[in-house]
C-alpha cells in the first residue's frame, strides 16, 4: 500500500513539473521588422573608383526596431531589380550585427563588373539593406542608387595565368599551357603582376586563367593593352620575350630579350653569350671557364647582362646578379639560394656572384633558369 502511495506521489509531481515547464515554454518569434531609413551614401552618390588606393566607403542605416539580435547585409542590384536575386551582398561590420558596412573600392569595382559595367565605363546600381533573423529576411522599405565609374583593368584578378596557342613553345594543348610567374605587389594594395620569359613564333596565342576546361581568355592589343577574349597574332621571326601582364590595369608590356651575356667583373666585359634553349632557360655547354688572375689573387666575380628591345626596337640593358653586394667563393656545399638572380645595378664589381675555384680552366655548363616552375630565378655553373 505504501509503495502504491509513493508511486502515485512521484507520478503527480512529475505531471506538475511537466505542466509547469510546458507553461514556461514560449514559441520562437521569427518576425523581423525591415530597415526604414538609409543614411549614407546619399541617394545618387557618385564615385570614381580607385581599387588600389581609394578609401573604403561606409554604407549606413538606422537599425531595425527590434530588441533581438539580427543580421544585416547590403544588397546591390541592377536598376530594374527587386533584390530577390541581387548582384552581390556584403555582410555589415561586426560580423553582420552593425548598422553599417565598410566596403572597399576594390569590392565595389568587382560589384560593378558583375553588374555589367565595363572597364572605363560608368553605370548605376541600387542598393538596399536586408535584415534577417533565422530563416526570415526583409528588404528595407527604401533603397538608394549609386553611380560607379570603373578604372581600366579587370575587377576580378585570377590566381593564375597561362600562355597557350600555336605561337607558343607548348602549342595549342591547353593542358600544356605555360604558367606565368605571379609577382607579389611591392606595396600594400598594389597590383599583382604576371611575368613570363618565353619564345614566340609566327602564330597566335592567348592568356588563360586555367590550363583545363573552358577558362577565361585574354589577348593583347597593340603590345600594351589586355582585353577579354580573342587571340594575339605573332608575325616575323621567332624571338625570346618577357611578357609582363598587369590585369588590374589591363596593361601589357612585351620586351624582346636580345641576348643574355656572362659578364666578367675583373675583365669588365661580356665573356660569352648564352643561347636560349627553351623552357625559359639560356644555356651553353662545354664553355671553358677561365678565372682572371689579378695581383690580389683570382677574381671570379660575375653577373649577367640582359640586352633588351622594346616594341619599337629601341635597345636597353638590365643587369641581374646576387642579392648581396659582396660574396665569398662558393663550394660544392653552398646553398642553392646563393645563385638566385635579382635585378641589380650596373656597377662593375658590386652584386656579383663568384665561381667555385675548382671550375677554373675546365669546360662547364652555364645555365640561367627563369622558369616559372621554380621558386626563384637562378643560375648555375657545373663542371662537365
What is the tens place of the pLDDT at every residue in 195-227?
999 999 999 999 999 999 999 999 999 988 899
C-alpha grid cell for residue 87?
548582384
Question: Which pLDDT does position 156 carry in this prediction?
Answer: 82
Task: Please give the model's pTM, rounded to 2 decimal places.
Answer: 0.72
What is the tens place of the pLDDT at every residue in 82-136?
999 999 999 999 999 999 999 998 899 989 999 999 888 999 999 999 999 988 9
Question: Which pLDDT does position 159 carry in this prediction?
Answer: 92
Q: Considering only CA atoms, which of 259, 184, 264, 172 is closest in space to residue 217?
A: 172
Integer Cα distance of 253 and 274 in angstroms: 24
pLDDT band at 184 (very low <50, low <70, confident <90, very high): low
Average pLDDT, the chain: 90
Q: What 3-state DSSP class applies to 235?
A: coil
pLDDT band at 186 (very low <50, low <70, confident <90, very high): very low
The predicted model gives 337-347 an average pLDDT of: 96
Q: Tell me which of 87 and 26 has the higher pLDDT.
A: 87
Q: Are strands 144-149 and 45-48 parallel, antiparallel or unpaired?
A: parallel
Cβ proximity of 88 and 114 under 8 Å: yes
Question: Which pLDDT does position 50 carry in this prediction?
Answer: 85
Other C-beta atoms closer than 10 Å to the C-beta of 289 total 21
What is the tens place of the pLDDT at every residue in 269-322?
999 999 999 999 999 999 999 999 999 999 999 999 999 999 889 999 999 999
Amino acid at each position: 500500500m505504501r509503495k502504491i502511495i509513493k508511486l502515485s506521489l512521484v507520478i503527480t509531481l512529475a505531471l506538475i513539473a511537466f505542466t509547469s515547464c510546458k507553461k514556461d515554454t514560449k514559441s520562437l518569434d521569427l518576425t523581423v521588422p525591415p530597415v526604414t531609413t538609409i543614411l549614407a551614401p546619399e541617394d545618387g552618390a557618385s564615385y570614381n573608383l580607385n581599387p588600389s588606393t581609394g578609401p573604403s566607403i561606409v554604407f549606413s542605416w538606422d537599425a531595425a526596431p527590434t530588441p533581438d539580435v539580427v543580421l544585416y547585409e547590403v544588397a546591390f542590384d541592377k536598376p530594374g531589380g527587386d533584390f530577390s536575386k541581387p548582384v552581390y551582398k556584403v555582410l555589415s561590420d561586426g560580423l553582420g550585427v552593425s548598422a553599417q558596412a565598410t566596403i572597399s573600392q576594390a569590392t565595389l569595382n568587382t560589384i560593378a563588373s558583375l553588374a555589367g559595367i565595363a572597364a572605363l565605363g560608368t553605370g548605376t546600381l541600387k542598393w538596399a539593406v536586408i535584415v534577417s533573423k533565422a530563416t526570415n529576411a526583409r528588404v528595407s522599405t527604401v533603397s538608394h542608387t549609386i553611380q560607379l565609374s570603373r578604372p581600366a583593368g579587370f575587377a576580378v584578378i585570377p590566381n593564375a595565368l597561362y600562355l597557350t596557342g600555336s605561337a607558343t613553345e607548348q602549342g595549342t594543348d591547353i593542358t600544356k599551357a605555360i604558367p606565368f610567374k605571379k609577382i607579389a605587389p611591392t606595396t600594400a594594395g598594389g597590383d599583382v603582376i604576371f611575368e613570363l620569359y618565353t619564345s614566340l613564333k609566327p602564330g597566335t596565342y592567348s592568356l588563360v586563367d586555367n590550363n583545363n576546361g573552358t577558362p577565361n581568355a585574354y589577348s593583347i592589343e597593340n603590345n600594351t593593352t589586355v582585353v577579354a577574349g580573342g587571340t594575339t597574332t605573332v608575325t616575323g621571326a621567332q624571338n625570346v620575350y618577357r611578357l609582363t601582364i598587369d590585369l588590374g590595369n589591363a596593361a601589357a608590356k612585351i620586351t624582346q630579350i636580345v641576348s643574355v651575356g656572362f659578364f666578367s667583373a675583373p675583365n669588365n666585359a661580356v665573356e660569352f653569350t648564352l643561347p636560349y634553349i627553351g623552357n625559359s632557360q639560356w644555356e651553353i655547354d662545354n664553355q671553358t671557364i677561365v678565372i682572371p688572375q689579378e695581383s690580389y689573387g683570382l677574381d671570379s666575380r660575375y653577373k649577367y647582362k640582359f640586352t633588351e628591345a622594346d616594341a619599337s626596337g629601341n635597345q636597353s640593358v638590365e643587369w641581374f646578379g646576387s642579392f648581396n653586394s659582396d660574396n665569398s667563393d662558393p663550394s660544392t656545399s653552398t646553398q642553392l639560394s646563393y645563385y638566385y638572380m635579382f635585378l641589380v645595378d650596373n656597377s662593375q664589381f658590386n652584386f656579383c656572384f663568384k665561381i667555385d675555384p675548382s671550375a677554373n680552366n675546365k669546360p662547364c655548363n652555364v645555365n640561367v633558369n627563369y622558369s616559372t616552375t621554380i621558386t626563384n630565378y637562378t643560375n648555375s655553373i657545373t663542371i662537365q
